[in-house]
Amino acid sequence: MQPPPPPSSSSIVPVQPSSSRLAPSDQELSSAMTKLKKPSAQHIVGFEERYQQALRMQQNEDEHSAHFNRRFFFDVESREWTRFNMSHYPKMMKEMKSFPDQLKIVSLNVWFANILQNKRYEAQLDFFEQVNPDIICLQEMIPNYIENNLLKRDFVRNNYIISDIDGTSVDPYGVMVLVKRSLPILDIRITSLTTRMGRKFIHVAFAKEPITDITLMEKYFASASKGAYISQLETMIPCFAVIGTVHLESLASKSSRKTQLEQIHPVLEHYSSSSLRMLMGDFNFDSESKENENLTSGIFKDYTDVWYSLYPQHVIEGKTFPYGPHRKGDRLDRMMIKSTIFLPQKMEVFGKQPLPLSSEEQTMLREKFHMEKVCLSDHYGIYCELQHC
CA distance 241 to 268: 10
From the list 315, 296, 297, 184, the residue with the least C-alpha distance to 243 is: 184
From the list 202, 187, 191, the residue with the least C-alpha distance to 234 is: 187
* Sequence letter at residue 341: I
Torsion of CA 120, 128, 347, 162, to 10 degrees: 110
Strands 333-339 and 304-305: antiparallel
From the list 17, 236, 9, 6, the residue with the least C-alpha distance to 121 is: 17
Count how many Cα atoms sit within 13 Å of the Cα of residue 145 in the half-sphere of its side chain: 31
302 and 358 Cβ atoms separated by less than 8 Å: no
pLDDT reported for residue 118: 97
From the list 186, 111, 178, the residue with the least C-alpha distance to 144 is: 111
The CA radius of gyration of the chain, in Å to the nearest whole number, is 20
- 202-245 pLDDT, tens digit per residue, is 999 999 999 999 999 999 999 998 888 999 999 999 999 999 99
pLDDT reported for residue 7: 60
CA distance 36 to 230: 41
- Per residue, what are the HEC states of 148-170? HCHHHCHHHHHHEEECCCCCCCC
- 17-54 pLDDT, tens digit per residue, is 443 333 444 444 444 333 333 333 444 445 555 555 55
CA distance 349 to 347: 7
pLDDT reported for residue 42: 41
pLDDT reported for residue 48: 54
Residues of the chain with pLDDT under 70: 1-66, 323-327
